[in-house]
Structure 1
């Protein structure tokens, strides 16, 4: 049996995309199984692969992991991307959970009938609640925590790129964050991930939305 990490999710970003980002930065190769039918999902349930009947599912080190934050923390610990001590790790986790909250707002946009009010809310929160935190944290350091690359840095890069897709000028008032973004994109593994043909997923479209709704037997949120 191959020892390669296997990801089971939809062929789109969603909650798996941060996991793809982190594995890429850790330079870990992975295979992907894409959910396209409800039968695939029901088989995972019947096989007992999904503890809480949820994906993402990541198979690594003989484990079947679910719950995105738990998966990210496992990978971060395994590949030394989680801080040098308990105080660093709690800072990494606080930054990471804030960024996850922000990105989940963007992830929900394809599933709401009128995204305009949601977009306005996301922009306001990004500019008033989230980006000021990182602008201050990056006023001197190269990285967010402990002078070394961590999960929090990876998620911040992902979040800023997602925000710029929706609001191209959103980082104009956050020069430290913009400089950080530029530095991060020069990391060789990240540079490759940002190129066409990589395993990075594109912004969700109607096909992605319809596949998710079909697999989960959803009519609406």
Structure 2
């Protein structure tokens, strides 16, 4: 459900509510994790800078920043804190402390790569090709070889503990975004190819990948000025 509306004073429905602009940004990984956990959510979009400022002035943004997620009676901010909460609540965060730290290692790395991908459309046109080459280099020589090695070393279907976790969700999200930039990005990573196929077929993930889901499309160049105006005026 996609709604352009006001922040509710009290979440009467109990459904998770997301407040962000109508695009990927830092909210997209939260959407992915909720979807992977099978949690339904509503979305409230701000479309202008004035609407964002009004949200900031409402007092609900602890650090004057979005994403904002209404969940379990809380108004949560800070992307990583939100993701940690969702993962822990829905048993996607490992079965013990050692598994959790592995999950943290893997997701922190993929979020570093995500940040590069997210900022790419904002690069000046003359530097975009060089920036793309940098992202592809980091994916193929730093991040994806590490995940390939993890899968090879333990020989299991999932990245941690042989059970579905937030690491699987977030690495798949990054793989698919990289494939949008370079379709053959997994050519040298056969285990990640198999991983992608397995995780994509988990029912909750498969549903999220279908047309018409709340998954957002990559930002087009023509959308960049609007997004920049919303966040930076």
Q: Note the C-alpha offset of 1:211.
A: 2.7
The corresponding residue for 1:17 is: 28
Q: Distance in 2 between matches of 1:27 and 1:209?
A: 31
User: Is 1:134 equivalent to 2:139 in the alignment?
Assistant: no
Q: Note the C-alpha offset of 1:10.
A: 1.1
Correspondences of 1:182-193 after superposition (within 5 Å): 182-193=197-208
Q: Distance in 2 between matches of 1:26 and 1:216?
A: 30
| 3-state SS in 2 of match to 1:7 | strand
What TM-score results when the alignment is normalised by the length of structure 1? Answer: 0.95
Q: Note the C-alpha offset of 1:129.
A: 0.5
| 3-state SS in 2 of match to 1:32 | strand
Correspondences of 1:120-159 after superposition (within 5 Å): 120-139=133-152, 140-159=155-174
User: Is 1:8 equivalent to 2:23 in the alignment?
Assistant: no
Render the CA deviation track for 1:181-215: whole Å, top value 9, x for unaligned: 00111111111111111111111024542332222
Render the CA deviation track for 1:125-178: whole Å, top value 9, x for unaligned: 101100011001111111111111111110010010011111111101000011
CA RMSD in angstroms, aligned pairs only: 1.1
Correspondences of 1:42-121 after superposition (within 5 Å): 42-114=53-125, 115-121=128-134
| 3-state SS in 2 of match to 1:108 | helix
Unpaired runs of at least 5, structure 1: none
What TM-score results when the alignment is normalised by the length of structure 2? Answer: 0.91
Q: 1:12·1:208 contact (CA, 8 Å) conserved in 2?
A: no
Unpaired runs of at least 5, structure 2: 1-11
